[in-house]
Structure formats: structure tokens, C-alpha cells
């Protein structure tokens, strides 16, 4: 059946079951409760009919047994030959309800065969001995299903002979009585289910009003992203409010990052912009070629500084976001990736007068990471060495396996960092006092945040042969 055909045949069921349907919570709850109640009514009706039929069968079986015993008594007291008087025949075939449900009887002799009644109505097999209680059984007479009762008695005119008296009736009256009982019970059940439904509707309506105070509290908020908390919140709504609180927390972090980025940008770009203005005014005030050339050279340096600062601010903001994108993280072999990244920076190291090298294992070293942010981490470490190690220095990138971690090290033999300042490395905008090289103080902060996002750690210490060493440890996979 096609989707269009479903919509034409059962539009309400289509709207209820398909995910794009839109219903109020009250409607959904009432529909979810109404359908089981209707099914319960049908199921209860079936049970009621089955119970009524059992009751009707029991009553009619008792009546049938009584008829058999009555006919047996008539034969014993009135006509030992087995002939049925017209009065007895009328009583057997009379239907007091006027339903024409048909009744049958037969009187058979063990020696002489049928004495009276219907020839096709046979007694049950094995009923050849005298018995006091009638035997009930089912029998088919043509296309009719019958319920019969048979009882045996001695033939007083023929000693040794046994008479079998059988009375049977159709099942129509039994089912008619069961249907009447069912029709009498359905209205009462329907009224009961309607009352239950009204109570459920009232309960759902009253229960949903418990959300009104929470809605009013949220409506009063404008820029407040504080947690909703659990005070006055129904237990069933706690998962929703906790999810909203988590969303508020992420929004607060994002807004805090945005405010920090704006503040950092204003702080870091103020000096380059002021310098640009000074040198532009200087070139305008002294238009001689030497002054203009010197001003343009300073302007170029300030632009490069502002460009680098803005790039690092953006990188720091990305690194400070909550969690890395799971889709961007892949299984990386650092033994293959790190040498390739180092190779790309060799020409810059040669231009800065620094000997850049790599020392690592040949076997694969696997971690789960984002290749782009990992490249940004290594670039900042190399930039830090190129900027502060000084010309003539050497810098070595190392890779080693340490138990369950993989250690990426960057070591140079430059002037190094005094021990009292090692603990502050990684702070935003922190620069070692007395350092004359230009920088923004963001490189190691970016490294710190990227390592934390990949569940790693960063350690700063003096190099084995003097200088400075940074170690970044990642969990191996």
C-alpha cells in the first residue's frame, strides 16, 4: 500500500504514527489511552460472550437432563411399551420462548430397536448398561449441531431388555441467550470506559498544568542562561530540564569564548593599530623617500604582527571549544605524519638559521586525533622554537612510546626558560620576562588546549643539553 493510499484510507492513523505529525501532548496522551480502552472493551466483550455462553450451556444442559429424566419417569409410570402420549410429545416439542430452536427425542429398545421418536437420533456409543444419571454429549443431525442427553431404564414388559431414552435440542437458543447477556453488558461496560476516559482526560489536563509554573519561570527570562535546577520540577520532566541546562551551559561557554575573543582581539590589536597610525602620520608629515620607506617597512611588520595575532586568536578560540568533532577524528600514525609535517618547515628553519631535525621510531605509532589540529599543535611548537631559540641553534622533534602513551617532544639548545617561569607557560598572553623576541604569548596556550581536547597532557622542562623542551603525551590506540 502506498503512502498516498494510507493517507486516503486512514488519515488520523497516518498523522498519529508518522514522525512528522504534529499533535499536542494532551492529544497524544488521550489517543494513546483511548485506543487501549477501546481494545479493552472489545476484549472484555469477547470474554463476556464466552462466559455467557458457558452459563447458557450449563443452564440448558440442566434443562436437557431434566427433560430426559422426566421422559424416563413418564415411560416408567404411564406406558411401559415405549409409546409417547400426545401430551408428553407436546411438552417435548413445545418452545416456551417462541424461538423455534427445534427439539428431538427417541426411545430405543436394545432388542426391538426404535420404539418412538426420531430414527436418526442415535444414543452415544457404549451406553448399554443401566444408569441413573443422564449422559450429555454432542451429536450432528444432518447439517444441525445438537446437544443430547441419554438415560437408560429397564423394560418392565420384557425382562432383560433395556430402553434408552434420548432428548436433544439445537444450539440456537444457547447462543441467543449468550448474545442477550452480551447486549445487556455492553452499555454498562461502555459507560464505565467512558467514565474512565473522562477521569483520564481530567487527570492528564490537571497533570499538564504542573508545567505551567516552569513555563512561567522560563518566560520571565531574557538573557539569563543560569541552570533551571530541579526545584519545583516534576520528576518526569527532569530529563528535559537537565538537557536544557546542558544546552545553557554550552551556550554560556560559547558566549564566554566570544567575549574573551573580543577582549583578547581588542587588547592585542590595539598596539599594532596604534603603530600603523603613527607610521602613516609620519610618512605623511615627512614625504621624503627615506622616511616613507622606513615607515612602510614598519607598517609591513605591524601588519604581519596583527595578522599573526588574529590568526592565533582564532586558533585559540577553536581549541577552547568544548569537544572535538567526532567525525573529524581518525586513527593517525604519528610515525608517518610527524616527519612529513617537520619536512614542510625545513626551509623556514634554514631561513632562521636553525638546524631542524627529527628522531623517531620506524614502526607505526597510532592515536585517535584530528590531523588539522595536530598540525596546528606542531606548527606552534616549531614556531616557538624558531622564534626563541636564536640563530645557530638546533631543534629536534622526537617521537617515543611510553607505556600506554605516545610522547611527542620538541627540544632546542637555545637560551631556555628559567625554572621559576615554567609553571606559567601555557597561560594566555604570558611571555617570559626579559624575552626580546616578538610574540603574542598564545602559541603554547594553543598547544595546551589542543592537547587537552585529545585527552593528552603537556609538560615544560629544561632540555637534556640545556635549552628548552616541550613534551606532549597522547593516549595510544
Structure confidence by residue, pLDDT tens digits, 443-454: 788 888 888 888
- Do 269 and 198 belong to one domain? no
- Residue 451 has a pLDDT of 87
Q: Are residues 240 and 379 in the same domain?
A: no
Residue 272: pLDDT band with limits 50, 70, 90: low
Residues 289 and 168 in one domain: no
pLDDT at residue 382 is higher than 60: yes
Containing domain of residue 395, as a range?
Answer: 330-475
Confidence of residue 265 (pLDDT cuts 50, 70, 90): low
Looking at residue 449, its pLDDT comes to 84
Confidence of residue 7 (pLDDT cuts 50, 70, 90): very low
Among 277, 293, 319, the domain-final residue is 319
| Residue 119 within any structural domain of the chain | yes
462: Cβ contacts below 8 Å, ≥ 6 apart: 416, 417, 419, 422, 468, 469
Task: Determine whether 46 is exposed, middle or buried from the number of CB atoms within 10 Å of its CB (0-12, 13-18, 19+).
Answer: exposed
- Tell me, yes or no, whether 58 and 205 share the same domain: yes
CB 32, CB 117: distance < 8 Å:
no
Tally of domains in the chain = 3
Residue 196's pLDDT is 83
Of the three residues 268, 298, 319, the one that is the final residue of a domain is 319
Q: Find where cell 595546551 sits.
A: 448
The residues that bridge with 363 in the sheet, in sequence order, are none
Instruction: Evaluate whether residue 24 is within a structural domain.
Output: no
Quote the distance between the C-alpha of residue 223 and its chain's center. 31
Q: Scan for cell 533551571, then name that residue.
A: 228
Query: Is pLDDT larger for residue 30 or for residue 460?
Result: 460
Look at residue 6 and tell me whether its pLDDT is greater than 50. no
pLDDT band at 95 (very low <50, low <70, confident <90, very high): very low
State whether 255 and 135 are in the same domain.
no
Is 56 or 318 the better-scoring residue by pLDDT? 56
Whether residues 305 and 367 share a domain: the answer is: no
300 and 342 housed in the same domain: no
- State which of 188, 220, 252 marks the end of a domain: 220
Confidence of residue 128 (pLDDT cuts 50, 70, 90): low
Q: Residue range 223-239: average pLDDT?
A: 75
Position 81 scores a pLDDT of: 52
Say if residue 350 is in the same domain as residue 467.
yes
pLDDT category, 294, cuts 50, 70, 90? confident
170 and 286 assigned to the same domain: no
Q: Is it the case that residue 474 has pLDDT exceeding 70?
A: yes
**pLDDT higher at 301 or 195:** 195
Beta bridge partners of residue 54, listed in sequence order: none
Q: Is residue 230 part of a domain?
A: no
Q: What is the mean pLDDT of the chain?
A: 77
Would you say residue 13 lies in a domain?
no
| CATH number of the domain where residue 440 is located | 3.30.565.10
Residue 416 covered by a domain: yes
Please say if the pLDDT value at position 219 is more than 80: no
Query: Does 225 map to a domain?
Result: no
pLDDT exceeds cutoff 80 at 80: no
Residue 218's contacts (CB-CB under 8 Å, 6 or more residues apart) are 228
**Would 15 be classed as within a structural domain?**
no
Average pLDDT over residues 253-272: 66
Q: Write down the pLDDT at residue 14.
A: 42
Quote the distance between the C-alpha of residue 19 and its chain's center. 13
Residues 153, 66 share a domain: yes
Give the least confident one: 146-155, 180-189, 289-298, 357-366: 289-298
Q: Are residues 369 and 457 in the same domain?
A: yes
- Answer whether residue 14 is part of any domain: no
CATH of the domain at 285: 1.10.287.130
Residues 97 and 205 in one domain: yes
CA distance 294 to 291: 5
pLDDT tier, 103 (very low <50, low <70, confident <90, very high otherwise): low
Quick one: how far is CA 114 from the chain centroid? 75
Q: Give the pLDDT confidence score for residue 397 in this predicted structure.
A: 92
Amino acid at each position: 500500500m502506498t503512502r498516498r493510499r494510507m493517507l486516503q484510507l486512514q488519515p488520523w492513523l497516518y498523522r498519529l504514527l508518522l514522525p512528522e505529525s504534529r499533535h499536542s501532548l494532551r492529544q497524544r496522551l488521550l489517543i494513546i489511552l483511548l485506543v487501549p480502552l477501546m481494545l479493552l472493551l472489545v476484549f472484555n466483550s469477547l470474554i463476556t460472550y464466552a462466559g455467557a455462553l458457558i452459563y447458557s450451556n450449563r443452564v440448558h444442559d440442566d434443562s436437557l437432563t431434566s427433560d430426559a429424566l422426566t421422559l424416563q419417569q413418564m415411560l416408567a409410570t404411564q406406558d411401559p411399551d415405549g409409546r409417547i402420549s400426545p401430551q408428553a410429545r407436546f411438552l417435548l416439542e413445545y418452545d416456551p420462548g417462541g424461538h423455534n430452536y427445534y427439539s428431538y427425542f427417541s426411545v430405543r429398545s436394545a432388542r426391538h430397536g426404535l420404539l418412538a421418536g426420531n430414527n436418526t437420533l442415535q444414543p452415544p456409543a457404549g451406553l448399554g448398561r443401566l444408569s441413573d444419571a443422564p449422559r450429555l454429549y454432542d451429536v450432528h443431525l444432518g447439517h444441525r449441531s445438537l446437544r443430547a442427553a441419554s438415560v437408560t431404564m429397564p423394560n418392565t414388559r420384557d425382562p432383560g431388555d433395556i430402553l434408552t431414552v434420548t432428548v436433544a435440542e439445537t444450539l440456537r437458543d444457547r447462543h441467543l441467550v449468550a448474545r442477550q447477556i452480551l447486549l445487556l453488558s455492553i452499555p454498562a461496560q461502555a459507560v464505565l470506559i467512558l467514565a474512565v476516559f473522562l477521569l483520564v482526560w481530567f487527570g492528564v489536563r490537571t497533570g499538564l498544568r504542573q508545567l505551567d509554573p516552569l513555563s512561567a519561570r522560563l518566560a520571565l527570562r531574557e538573557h539569563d542562561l543560569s541552570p533551571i535546577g530541579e526545584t519545583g520540577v516534576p520528576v518526569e520532566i527532569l530529563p528535559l530540564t537537565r538537557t536544557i541546562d546542558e544546552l545553557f551551559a554550552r551556550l554560556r561557554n560559547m558566549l564566554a569564548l566570544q567575549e574573551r575573543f573580543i577582549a583578547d582581539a581588542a587588547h592585542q590589536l590595539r598596539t599594532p593599530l596604534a603603530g600603523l597610525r603613527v607610521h602613516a602620520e609620519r610618512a605623511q608629515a615627512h614625504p621624503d623617500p627615506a622616511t616613507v620607506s622606513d615607515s612602510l617597512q614598519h607598517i609591513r611588520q605591524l601588519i604581519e604582527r596583527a595578522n599573526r595575532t588574529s590568526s592565533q586568536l582564532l586558533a585559540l578560540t577553536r581549541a577552547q571549544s568544548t569537544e572535538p568533532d567526532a567525525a573529524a577524528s581518525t586513527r593517525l600514525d604519528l610515525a608517518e605524519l610527524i616527519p612529513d609535517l617537520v619536512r614542510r618547515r625545513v626551509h623556514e628553519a634554514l631561513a632562521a638559521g636553525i638546524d631542524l631535525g627529527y628522531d623517531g621510531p620506524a614502526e607505526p605509532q597510532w592515536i585517535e586525533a584530528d590531523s588539522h589540529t595536530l598540525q596546528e599543535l606542531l606548527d606552534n611548537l616549531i614556531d616557538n622554537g624558531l622564534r626563541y631559540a636564536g640563530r645557530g641553534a638546533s631543534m629536534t622533534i622526537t617521537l617515543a612510546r611510553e607505556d600506554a602513551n605516545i610522547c611527542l617532544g620538541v627540544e632546542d639548545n637555545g637560551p631556555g626558560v628559567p625554572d621559576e617561569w615554567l609553571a606559567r607557560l601555557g597561560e594566555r598572553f604570558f611571555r617570559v620576562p626579559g624575552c626580546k623576541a616578538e610574540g603574542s604569548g598564545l602559541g603554547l596556550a594553543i598547544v595546551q588546549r589542543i592537547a587537552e581536547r585529545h585527552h593528552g597532557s603537556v609538560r615544560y622542562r629544561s632540555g637534556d643539553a640545556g635549552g628548552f623542551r616541550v613534551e606532549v603525551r597522547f593516549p595510544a590506540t
